[in-house]
Structure 1
Amino acid sequence: MTMCLTAGACSSVEVNGIESAGNPAVSSVTGAPDAVHSPCGTPAVSQRDGSPLPIEYQHTATEVFVAACNHNYLQLQQLMADPFIYGDKQSGSPAFVVGTLRRAYPDNSVFDNLARMMTTPPYFEQDGLHYNYHASIAIFSRLYTEKSWSEYSYDPYDTTSDNSVGTVD
């Protein structure tokens, strides 16, 4: 299935083992996640302290970034833990969560925010790897599994909270 944000030529490329056929979020590839460029930005491959992300997290975070940037709902579902925590500590199956977010935010701002958040340097906490942008947060569980993306909370109204890394604008 080809997902494109804009009209134009789509091609199949691979970024660090991530197949992204027809994906405009991967327009320049040298084989590493830090080579991913898109209208959504470039996914972070280093932590806040400057150390590189472990490769397992780089791979999954890049997949989440590409899927969110392209509004690829099926791919997002496939990357989510089951059950998945969202909002104010609610949980549900990946299909339920994505459907709920799509209905709540028909402008796709929730997925655009997720892609943007993945461009900020993450940090490790006791429960795992945290990406945050203002009041929104995505968490990848510390015990790495195939479905390590375990939580996402989005606040469309808070654009002023300090995210401790400065603004991305």
Structure 2
Amino acid sequence: MVELVSSLQSLGESLKQTIASNVDLREALNGLDDIRTESIHACRIASLQILKCLQNTLCFPDLKDEFETRRFCMANSCLIFCTASSSINLHTEGMSPLEFLVIDEAAQLKECESLIPLHLVGARHAILVGDERQLPAMVQSKISEEAEFGRSLFERLVSLGHK
């Protein structure tokens, strides 16, 4: 792939040099000297050979619909941004381990809800983004509220001095 990019850049530079002083491309190509023509032809042939090789070695999945495309992207991602409500979608079979997990609106997550995305197998780093003074985690039970089950993990970490 790197060779192809390099070859195409060489071809582009050769063509730029050739047509730099001429307005009409056909006129420029007709007026080429043999050395420059051979150089352009060699770059073109090299690029085509690399493309043929890549065509035989690269295999792309046959994705039939949006669901398969999403599953493929999730399974091959190493960095995912999500909201608290969409973090349940991260538990997909065949997903490779995440390097970073960034959870937006993390201040809205109750501590127990934080475990859903943080429990992903192989997640090495998690970044919680949110504002503990805006839309706090909510519980409907008075007993749960008194037991501070409505407090978010984000709020707890902030109260402990984490920034």
Q: What TM bracket, shorter-length normalisation?
A: under 0.3
TM-score by length of 2: 0.20
Select the structure that is richer in strand.
1
Question: Which structure has the larger Rg over C-alpha atoms?
Answer: 2
Select the structure that is richer in helix.
2
TM-score by length of 1: 0.20
